[in-house]
């Protein structure tokens, strides 16, 4: 069983934290209070059904005898007094959804059967219909934080910026309960529009954005004063091959150093991230994955090649997940320096567990530790050199080079 769980964790590490604008769907959301009541009803109904089969001596592995009796009592009241007919299958789905929602963890959610099948059939695509934003739940505001925008996307063209907080999608107000529903509502049919109520630096703004087919190009490169600059927008859609190709091109032009810019990067595929690190770092531990039973999976670079010129990594408050793994590995290896501001702090892995043909639960099952023992979740990564940008620039996707203090510091350190 332990080997199976380890295998599940290893297979699903590649799926961790795909940009949350592509997150799996939760629709027909109900409030936690109602869902918990429904959960009680359904659990009691199940208890009533299984008790004759298993006998009076049956003991639940989850509930005490007193809890089961209390559940049965509540079910009898509803069964005898509830005025209307109801669909037991819908009650069961609602119960599961309610139980999962009651955990109040934005990365743990239930997919109904049709949603689960859609997600299974969709696969990894480099294009989708949407507005071109990378999103994550923001617990401080109970809104959706924009980590970044995709180049040449509708969101970027209309003026949505990194750091914006989406409070309302059309008529749906965002909260912990409705987060996934709101993310899904941003997507839709091509050439249709979505209205967003946004908070930016305490100023309320409204945007109406037209949905388009988004093709993600995740790498941009240029040479600045003999230094190779690589901007990575997200760790998705063949990012390893994109990065490797552009990195080799820069090396073939005899650049004197490399800067990898991960600012406003929401993360993506951890496996691709580890492959990218293999191009840069010597053999070393780069990541530890620890689950509830304290089982540890260790990930290492293999030293097939490593960078032999100066290396710097740029991060900011919107660098999350795989970006934090990349930055922390470079920092701990001593092979490069990390410059910018403290990162976002998203360091958990989810895997999907099917429920016998009735949907699936995406559940947080483990968390990441850096080689030096830092828990990434809620803590983030502290850069080697802290460089703040002016408030009016710190959430901008594009900054003029002479105004980009973080980039200028990286260029100075790499040249040294």
- The rounded distance, in Å, linking the Cα atoms of 315 and 341 is 6
If you search the block for the tokens 């969101």, which residue do you land on? 155
pLDDT above 80: residue 25: no
Q: Would you state the pLDDT for residue 412?
A: 97
Helix H or strand E encompassing 89: helix 88-101
If you search the block for the tokens 């895997």, which residue do you land on? 351
Q: Would you state the pLDDT for residue 214?
A: 83
Contacts (Cβ under 8 Å, ≥6 apart) of 135: 19, 20, 21, 23, 144, 145, 146, 147, 166, 183, 186, 266
Structural domain contains residue 205: yes
Helix H or strand E encompassing 39: helix 32-54
What average pLDDT does the segment 125-154 reach?
A: 84
What average pLDDT does the segment 311-315 reach?
A: 98
What average pLDDT does the segment 195-212 reach?
A: 94
Structural domain contains residue 114: no
Structural domain contains residue 175: yes
Selected residue with higher pLDDT from 277 and 26: 277
Q: Would you state the pLDDT for residue 39?
A: 47
Q: Which residues of 311-342 are buried (b: 16+ CB within 10 A; e: fewer)?
A: bbbbbbbbbbbbbbbbbbbbbbbebbbbbbbe
- The rounded distance, in Å, linking the Cα atoms of 8 and 351 is 7
Q: Would you state the pLDDT for residue 60?
A: 79
pTM of this prediction exceeds 0.75:
no
Interval 158-197: pLDDT, tens = 999 988 999 999 999 999 888 888 988 998 889 999 999 9
**236 and 152 within one domain:** no
**243 and 224 within one domain:** yes
Q: Which of 55, 75, 105 is a domain's end point?
A: 105
Sheet with 219-224: list strands edge to edge: 219-224, 227-232, 257-261, 311-315, 337-340, 385-386
Helix H or strand E encompassing 284: strand 284-291
Q: Which of 175, 191, 214 is a domain's end point?
A: 214
Structural domain contains residue 23: no
Contacts (Cβ under 8 Å, ≥6 apart) of 196: 160, 166, 168, 169, 186, 206, 207, 208, 209
**372 and 289 within one domain:** yes
Residue spans of alpha helices (H) in 231-381: 239-252, 270-278, 322-333
Selected residue with higher pLDDT from 121 and 320: 320
CATH of the domain at 308: 3.90.226.10
- The rounded distance, in Å, linking the Cα atoms of 41 and 64 is 16
27-36, 111-120, 196-205, 300-309: least confidently modelled range: 27-36
What average pLDDT does the segment 322-350 reach?
A: 94
SS3 275: helix
**65 and 180 within one domain:** no
Selected residue with higher pLDDT from 103 and 21: 103
pLDDT-derived band of residue 119, with 50, 70 and 90 as boundaries? low
Structure tokens at 58: 């049956």
Pair 148, 265: CB distance under 8 Å: yes
Contacts (Cβ under 8 Å, ≥6 apart) of 189: 129, 211
Q: For 24-132, where are the E strands, in sequence order?
A: 109-111, 127-130
pLDDT-derived band of residue 388, with 50, 70 and 90 as boundaries? very high
Q: Would you state the pLDDT for residue 85?
A: 82
Structural domain contains residue 111: no
Q: Would you state the pLDDT for residue 82?
A: 85
Domain residues for 239? 216-415
Share of the chain above pLDDT 90, in %: 46
Average pLDDT of the chain, as a whole number: 83
DSSP 130-196: E--EEEEEETTTTEEEEEEE-TT-HHHHHT--TT-EEEEETTEEP-TTTHHHHHHHH--STT-EEEE
What average pLDDT does the segment 341-368 reach?
A: 89
- The rounded distance, in Å, linking the Cα atoms of 132 and 368 is 28
**132 and 46 within one domain:** no
**229 and 209 within one domain:** no
pLDDT above 90: residue 113: no
Q: How far apart are the first and last CA of the chain?
A: 53
SS3 220: strand
**301 and 199 within one domain:** no
**354 and 261 within one domain:** yes
Q: Which of 185, 214, 243 is a domain's end point?
A: 214
Tally of structural domains, the chain: 3
Share of the chain above pLDDT 70, in %: 84
DSSP-derived pairing of the beta strands 257-261 and 284-291: unpaired
Structural domain contains residue 394: yes
Q: Would you state the pLDDT for residue 2?
A: 46
Other Cβ atoms less than 10 A from the Cβ of 179: the count is 23
What average pLDDT does the segment 234-247 reach?
A: 91
- By CB atoms closer than 10 A (0-12, 13-18, 19+), residue 18 is buried
CATH of the domain at 160: 2.30.42.10
Q: Would you state the pLDDT for residue 56?
A: 56
Interval 32-80: pLDDT, tens = 333 444 444 445 444 444 444 345 565 778 888 888 888 788 778 878 8
Nearest alpha carbon to residue 332 among 302, 296, 271, 374: 374
DSSP-derived pairing of the beta strands 257-261 and 227-232: parallel
**222 and 363 within one domain:** yes
Selected residue with higher pLDDT from 96 and 10: 96
- The rounded distance, in Å, linking the Cα atoms of 312 and 324 is 14
pLDDT-derived band of residue 333, with 50, 70 and 90 as boundaries? very high
Pair 217, 63: CB distance under 8 Å: no
Q: Would you state the pLDDT for residue 263?
A: 95
pLDDT above 50: residue 16: no
């Amino acid at each position: 069983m332990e080997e199976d769980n380890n295998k599940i964790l290893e297979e699903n590490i590649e799926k961790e934290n795909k940009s949350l604008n592509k997150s799996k769907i939760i629709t027909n959301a109900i409030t936690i209070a109602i869902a918990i009541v429904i959960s009680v009803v359904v659990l009691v109904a199940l208890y009533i059904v299984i008790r004759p089969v298993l006998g009076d001596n049956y003991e639940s592995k989850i509930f005490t005898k007193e809890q089961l009796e209390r559940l049965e009592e509540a079910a009898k009241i509803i069964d005898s007094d509830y005025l209307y007919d109801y669909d037991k299958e819908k009650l069961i789905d609602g119960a599961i959804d309610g139980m999962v929602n009651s955990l109040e963890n934005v990365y743990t959610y239930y997919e109904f059967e049709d949603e689960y099948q859609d997600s299974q059939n969709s696969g990894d695509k480099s294009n989708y219909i949407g507005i071109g934003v990378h999103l994550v739940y923001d617990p401080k505001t109970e809104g959706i934080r924009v980590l970044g925008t995709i180049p040449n996307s509708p969101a970027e063209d209309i003026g949505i910026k990194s750091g914006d907080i989406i409070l309302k999608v059309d008529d749906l107000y965002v909260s912990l309960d409705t987060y996934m529903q709101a993310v899904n509502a941003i997507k839709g049919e091509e050439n249709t529009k979505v209205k967003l109520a946004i908070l930016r630096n305490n100023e309320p703004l409204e945007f109406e954005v037209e949905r388009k087919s988004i093709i993600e190009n995740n790498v941009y490169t240029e040479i600045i004063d003999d230094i190779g600059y690589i901007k990575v927008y997200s760790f998705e859609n063949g990012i390893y091959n994109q990065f490797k190709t552009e990195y080799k091109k820069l090396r073939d032009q005899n650049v004197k150093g490399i800067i990898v810019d991960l600012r406003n990067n929401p993360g993506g595929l951890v496996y691709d991230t580890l492959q990218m690190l293999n191009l840069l770092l010597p053999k070393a531990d780069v990541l530890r994955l620890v689950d509830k039973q304290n089982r540890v999976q260790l990930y290492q670079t293999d030293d097939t090649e490593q960078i032999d010129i100066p290396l710097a990594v740029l991060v900011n408050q919107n660098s999350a997940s795989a970006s934090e793994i990349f930055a922390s590995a470079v920092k701990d290896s001593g092979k490069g320096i990390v410059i910018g501001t403290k990162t976002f702090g998203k360091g958990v892995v989810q895997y999907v567990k099917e429920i016998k043909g009735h949907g699936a639960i995406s559940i947080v099952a483990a968390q990441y530790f850096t080689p030096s023992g830092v828990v990434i979740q809620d803590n983030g990564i502290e850069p080697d050199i802290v460089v703040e940008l002016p408030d009016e620039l710190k959430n901008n996707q594009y900054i003029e080079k002479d105004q980009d203090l973080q980039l200028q510091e990286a260029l100075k350190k790499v040249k040294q």
